[in-house]
């Protein structure tokens, strides 16, 4: 099929590339000329495992191309995906200005029947707005479909290629048939295409993200309770997880969720609920617990140095003049995305308290530079970040941080203190080597 994808970010680029990989003829369009220029020059603007190779292959086979021209993208396609951002507006509700601008532009260039598919995460009722926006600029027939995306950054290609389910919200049998055909190559292992009305499809995306965010805030709250009581969240987590009704997924305590989706989607759902007179108390608590959780590691650091730094001159802040190494900057492993990353909150607090920060992340260093410029030292590797450090704060659970060389660490650090924001380090081993260890909700 001939497809265009408008918006070439994490979702649009993966969608377009994977659809090309299954044999479709795909154009990815973006208004960001720099991004398109990079892609046309063979450079991939984001880090996503496996993506670069797929892009190269499909471009070489002539199935995938990139443009800034909306007209070209629309006129030669049967299906047009909208995959632009839906950032939070001032009150937390999703800002639809990009989605609706694209919808109007699509309408302007429509030259026959097409399916306009909304892949961006949008509040219930947006399908109607998109339909009106397209219709305001054309007399041609078209259908609007909601096809929310459930991929995870860091495993986006894999998720798109074998999705748990494909949700299609549509009101036209023709559109459903075409969409089901498009997705048939990704759902061969079983019938995982769920057809529903557009509003339910839009809601399904928010419901899923809100549920996952709830699990994270729930386990973080439990971890904080365990920490105070001398119980160990890791044992508790396992004790819970083997119950099939509960399971292990998304029940890892940490420094709070971040990224471009959970924070904004929970906020947006709270606002949508408000519009229909529902006070979304659970969701508000999920958000409040998460905001609080982003400070927990910092508070442990301050607490440690307040207790152990008694010899400091009176009035001197406990972190002033300390060097804190930070491992992990992206909001989760296997991505360079730092949007709403807990690392940003933690580092800003450390800097404000007078500490010097030496940080390392396997792929998010460029993103970190955009945020902190020269305000922190971006170390070329994880051990370099430890040189002269008074403590290490592990913020993102990259695999390469799981089993580091403790002897080497101890030699490099000024004082052997570790704040493990993801509970991934071997506490007993660290203690054997003389480290002071702090985790989240661990004894």
Rounded Cα–Cα distance for residues 201 and 148 (Å):
7
Per annotation, catalytic residue among 18, 28, 226, 261? 261
DSSP lists the bridge partners of residue 114 as 142
Tell me which stretch binds ligand NAD (CB under 6 A): 83-91, 131-139, 215-223, 277-285: 83-91
Q: Is residue 156 within 8 Å of 334, Cβ to Cβ?
A: no
- Among 18, 25, 63, 85, contact with ligand NAD (rule: CB under 6 A): 85
**3-state SS class at 19:** helix
Interaction of residue 98 with ligand NAD, rule CB under 6 A? yes
- Among 3, 4, 5, 7, contact with ligand NAD (rule: CB under 6 A): 7
What minimum distance in Å lies between the beta carbon of 57 and ligand NAD? Answer: 21
| Residue with smaller CB distance to ligand NAD, 163 or 404 | 163
What minimum distance in Å lies between the beta carbon of 163 and ligand NAD? Answer: 11
Interaction of residue 420 with ligand NAD, rule CB under 6 A? no
Residue nearest to ligand NAD (CB): 9
CB-count exposure of residue 275 (10 Å: 0-12, 13-18, 19+): exposed
Rounded Cα–Cα distance for residues 21 and 15 (Å):
10
Interaction of residue 288 with ligand NAD, rule CB under 6 A? no
Tell me which stretch binds ligand NAD (CB under 6 A): 2-10, 341-349, 412-420, 424-432: 2-10
Q: Which of 326, 319, 320, 316 is nearest to 304 (CA)?
A: 319
Interaction of residue 332 with ligand NAD, rule CB under 6 A? no
Quickly tell me which residue has 């078209």 as its tokens: 142
Size of the site for ligand NAD (CB under 6 A): 26
Please tell me the number of Cα atoms within 13 Å of 30 on its side-chain side. 24
The pairing of beta strand 142-146 with beta strand 166-170:
antiparallel
Per-residue binding string, ligand NAD, 105-124, x by CB under 6 A, is ---------------xx---
Q: Which residues contact 25 (CB under 8 A, 6 or more apart)?
A: 1, 2, 3, 63
Binders of ligand NAD in range 9-68 (CB under 6 A): 9-12, 29-32, 35
DSSP lists the bridge partners of residue 418 as 392, 437
Tell me which stretch binds ligand NAD (CB under 6 A): 80-88, 233-241, 360-368, 430-438: 80-88
Interaction of residue 195 with ligand NAD, rule CB under 6 A? no
What minimum distance in Å lies between the beta carbon of 340 and ligand NAD? Answer: 11
CA 180 to chain centre: 27
What minimum distance in Å lies between the beta carbon of 296 and ligand NAD? Answer: 25
Q: Which of 223, 209, 116 is nearest to 170 (CA)?
A: 116
Q: Is residue 126 within 8 Å of 201, Cβ to Cβ?
A: no
Interaction of residue 86 with ligand NAD, rule CB under 6 A? yes
Per-residue binding string, ligand NAD, 229-268, x by CB under 6 A, is -------------------------------xx-------
Per-residue binding string, ligand NAD, 137-156, x by CB under 6 A, is ------------x-x-x---
Q: Which of 307, 303, 342, 308 is nearest to 326 (CA)?
A: 342
Tell me which stretch binds ligand NAD (CB under 6 A): 94-102, 195-203, 211-219, 362-370: 94-102
| Residue with smaller CB distance to ligand NAD, 93 or 121 | 121
The pairing of beta strand 166-170 with beta strand 79-82:
unpaired
- Among 6, 64, 79, 412, contact with ligand NAD (rule: CB under 6 A): 6
Rounded Cα–Cα distance for residues 284 and 291 (Å):
11
CB atoms < 10 A from the CB of 266, how many?
25
Tokens linked to 61: 């086979």
Residue 18 annotated among the catalytic residues of the structure: no
Q: 196 φ, ψ to 5°? A: -150, 180
Q: Which residues are catalytic?
A: 261
Residues contributing to the site for ligand NAD (CB under 6 A):
6-12, 29-32, 35, 83-86, 98, 101-102, 120-121, 149, 151, 153, 260-261
């Amino acid at each position: 099929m001939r497809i265009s994808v408008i918006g070439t970010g994490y979702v649009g680029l993966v969608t377009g590339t994977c659809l090309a990989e299954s044999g479709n003829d795909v154009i990815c369009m973006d208004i960001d000329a720099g991004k398109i220029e990079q892609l046309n020059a063979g450079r991939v603007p984001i880090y996503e495992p496996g993506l670069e190779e797929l892009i190269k292959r499909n471009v070489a086979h002539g199935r995938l191309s990139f443009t800034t021209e909306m007209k070209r993208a629309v006129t030669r396609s049967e299906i047009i995906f909208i995959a632009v951002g839906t950032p939070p507006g001032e009150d937390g509700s999703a800002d639809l200005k990009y989605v609706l601008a694209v919808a109007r532009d699509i309408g302007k260039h429509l030259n026959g029947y097409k399916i306009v598919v909304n892949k961006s995460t949008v509040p219930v009722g947006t399908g109607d707005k998109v339909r009106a926006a397209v219709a305001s600029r054309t007399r041609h027939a078209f259908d609007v479909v909601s096809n929310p995306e459930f991929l995870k950054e860091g495993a986006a290609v894999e998720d798109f290629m074998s999705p748990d389910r494909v949700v299609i919200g549509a009101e036209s049998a023709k559109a459903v048939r075409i969409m089901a055909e498009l997705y048939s190559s990704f759902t061969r292992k079983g019938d995982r295409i769920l057809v529903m009305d557009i509003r339910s499809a839009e809601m399904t995306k928010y419901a899923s993200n809100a549920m996952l965010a709830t699990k994270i805030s729930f386990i973080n709250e439990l971890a904080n309770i365990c920490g105070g009581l001398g119980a160990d969240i890791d044992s508790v987590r396992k004790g819970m997880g083997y119950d099939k009704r509960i399971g292990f997924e998304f029940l890892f305590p940490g420094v709070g969720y971040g990224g471009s989706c959970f924070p904004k989607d929970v906020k947006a759902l709270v606002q949508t609920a408000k519009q229909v007179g529902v006070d979304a108390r659970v969701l508000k608590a999920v958000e409040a617990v998460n905001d609080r959780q982003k400070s927990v590691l910092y508070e442990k650091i301050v607490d440690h140095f307040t207790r152990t730094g008694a010899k400091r001159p009176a009035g001197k802040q406990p972190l002033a003049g300390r060097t804190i190494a930070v491992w992990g900057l992206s909001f989760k492993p296997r991505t360079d995305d730092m949007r709403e990353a807990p690392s940003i909150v933690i580092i800003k607090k450390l800097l404000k308290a007078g500490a010097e920060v030496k940080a390392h992340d396997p792929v998010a260093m460029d993103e970190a530079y955009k945020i902190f410029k020269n305000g922190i030292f971006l170390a070329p590797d994880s051990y370099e970040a430890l040189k002269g450090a008074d403590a290490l704060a592990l913020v993102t659970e990259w695999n390469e941080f799981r089993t580091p060389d403790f002897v080497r660490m101890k030699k490099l650090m000024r004082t052997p203190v570790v704040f493990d924001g993801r509970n991934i380090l071997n506490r007993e081993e660290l203690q054997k080597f003389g480290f002071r260890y702090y985790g989240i909700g661990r004894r």
